[in-house]
Amino acid sequence: MSSKIKILYFVDRMLRGGIQSMLINWIEKIDKSKFQIDILLLDDGKDYSKEEQVLKDMKCNVYKLNGVWIRIPTDFIKYKKAIKSFFEQHNDYKVVHLNSTSKNYMVLKYAKKIGVPIRIAHSHSIEFQTKNIFKKMFGNLLKPKLKKYATNFFACSEEAGKWLFGNKVVNSSKFEVIRNAINIDKFRFNEQKRKQIRKQLNIKEDTLIIGNVGRFVELKNHIFLIDIFNEIHKKNSNSKLMLVGSGKDENKIKEKVALLNLNEYVMFLGFKNNPNDYMCAMDIFVFPSKFEGLGLVLIEAQASGLKCYASKDVIPIDAHVSDLLEFISLQKSATEWANSILSLNNERKDVIREIKENGYDINDTVKKLEKIYTNEE
């Protein structure tokens, strides 16, 4: 019988997002001689085999509740049976770490039923990622259930904690901000990588590259980003936009690019396992999201030394780990965004020390998690 401490991470699905990247960062660094990491996923019917294989390559057991996906409240009947069945078959976890909102509270409920001593609810957002008012109401109604079954409460920022758990929990000893830390050395600027990527993409050294890394979904606001770049390109014809990512809105964004006759100047690079290399090739990072729990990619971009421009009053202040990050209101026009971006000093600089001091070093975060998982002071 293994003497390793068994930990179950829950996440809805292994899409190419910030939460999933964070989990992979943790798993890469966690002490495998002490901990066995398992992953539990729902099933939205889409193929995430490549992403799931990354976890398997790191010796994780990956479990999926086949055919189980929460779309409407009645789906909870099937969901409840699947969660109950899972924990009846897997009842030796010391830690269950839920990376989701209140709709998945049953994971912690049934973890409690089988006696899992450490049950963590982890908030990664400041809003439900849906426009459906009924789903939001349902999510809010389930927040007390989540709090009832959790023993520990984590959040990527205080704002994310207050949104999901409320002020009382955030002000208690059970709450802790766990930074969405990064492998700093991996994202440190590398001149050789910059030249390599630019050569590969046939980009001249004097071309201004505006960059963004993120899923093509509405909340990331790519349509407005295209408008911003359009205004930048009017002022600097020797500029291009580099988009790293994929998602359901990709065709809609490409249509916008074509409408503005920018096809020659906008690069759709798709999902990349090495976004750090592409950040080295960028000159400015623009991130006009409609809302974020933190905006992990902004920490990564700052680690790469990029001047970053992000949505004011939408991105938590916790992402402001250096003077490389400037906030601009989404109430301002694309022209105003472009003018601000081009009027400021966009020189690359090293802010690694500031990022470490603000708690975003993955090595420090994993040490903190390991202590919590082993119940050490």
pLDDT of residue 294: 67
Sign of the alpha-carbon dihedral angle for 106, 155, 127, 11 = negative
Asked if 125 and 16 sit in the same domain, the reply is yes
Asked if 140 and 197 sit in the same domain, the reply is no
Q: What is the CATH number of the domain that holds 65?
A: 3.40.50.2000
pLDDT of residue 376: 66
CB of 287 closer than 8 Å to CB of 302? no
Q: How many domains does the chain have?
A: 2
**Distance, C-alpha 331 to centroid of its chain:** 24
Asked if 29 and 84 sit in the same domain, the reply is yes
Q: Which residues pair with 9 in a beta bridge?
A: 39, 97
Asked if 113 and 140 sit in the same domain, the reply is yes
Asked if 39 and 167 sit in the same domain, the reply is yes
pLDDT of residue 126: 77
pLDDT of residue 288: 97
Q: Token digits for 187?
A: 């994202």
Asked if 155 and 192 sit in the same domain, the reply is no
Asked if 305 and 213 sit in the same domain, the reply is yes
Domain holding 310, by residue range, is: 184-357
pLDDT averaged over 10-residue windows placed end to end, the chain, 377 residues: 87 81 90 96 87 90 89 80 96 96 95 97 84 83 96 91 96 93 92 97 97 93 98 98 94 97 97 93 97 81 97 85 96 98 95 92 94 83
Asked if 311 and 284 sit in the same domain, the reply is yes
DSSP state of 361: B
Extended strands (E) in 128-281: 152-155, 175-177, 208-213, 239-244, 266-270
Asked if 22 and 159 sit in the same domain, the reply is yes
Asked if 108 and 230 sit in the same domain, the reply is no
CB of 291 closer than 8 Å to CB of 267? no
Asked if 199 and 126 sit in the same domain, the reply is no
pLDDT of residue 204: 96
pLDDT of residue 133: 84
Asked if 21 and 110 sit in the same domain, the reply is yes
